[in-house]
Amino acid sequence: MAADEKNDRARVVTYVPTQQKTEWTEHADELGMSQAEFVRTMVQAGRKDFTLDAGGAVEPGSDTTDPRGGDLETQVLESLDSNGSLSWEELVDSLSADFEERLEACLDSLQATNQIRYSGRNGGYTTIDS
């Protein structure tokens, strides 16, 4: 790839609800990212190859690369570096805590944009019909 092609950029403009932009700005700040970097990263993460497993659940493709260093290999190494030797159960616990935090943030975001709600009657989260 030529140097001029590598640095070639195009502008993308979109409009989102104010609340969504506020959430994106806060999340980008938490990650130490610019808003542009955050949006680029989230779009790329959303474009990863997804397939259905035998049970019909959505599973991400085998590509584990992540420009922010959040791939599983990096998380395992960081957990072992900071904690020393860990058993299987301890390693699962250290890695699953991050997932629970991300899931909670995702659910909060989906509720804030009125895409889902918690329904005691239905026994959990449910989508909101438009």
pLDDT in tens, 64-85: 444 444 578 888 888 899 888 9
Residues 54 and 88 both lie in one domain: no
Question: Do residues 34 and 28 lie in contact, with contact meaning Cβ atoms separated by under 8 Å?
Answer: yes
Q: How many residues does the chain have?
A: 130
> 73 near 80, Cβ under 8 Å?
no
The answer to pTM > 0.85 is: no
Do residues 73 and 56 both lie within one domain?
A: no
Tens of pLDDT, residues 79-117? 899 888 999 888 888 878 777 778 888 888 888 888 999
Whether the pLDDT of residue 44 is over 50: the answer is: yes
Looking at the predicted structure, is the pLDDT value of residue 61 above 80? no
Sheet strands (E) in 3-123: 50-52, 58-60, 116-119
pLDDT at 13: 82
Residue 27: domain span: 1-63
State both tokens at 109. Answer: 């975001």
Quick one: 59 and 73 in the same domain?
no
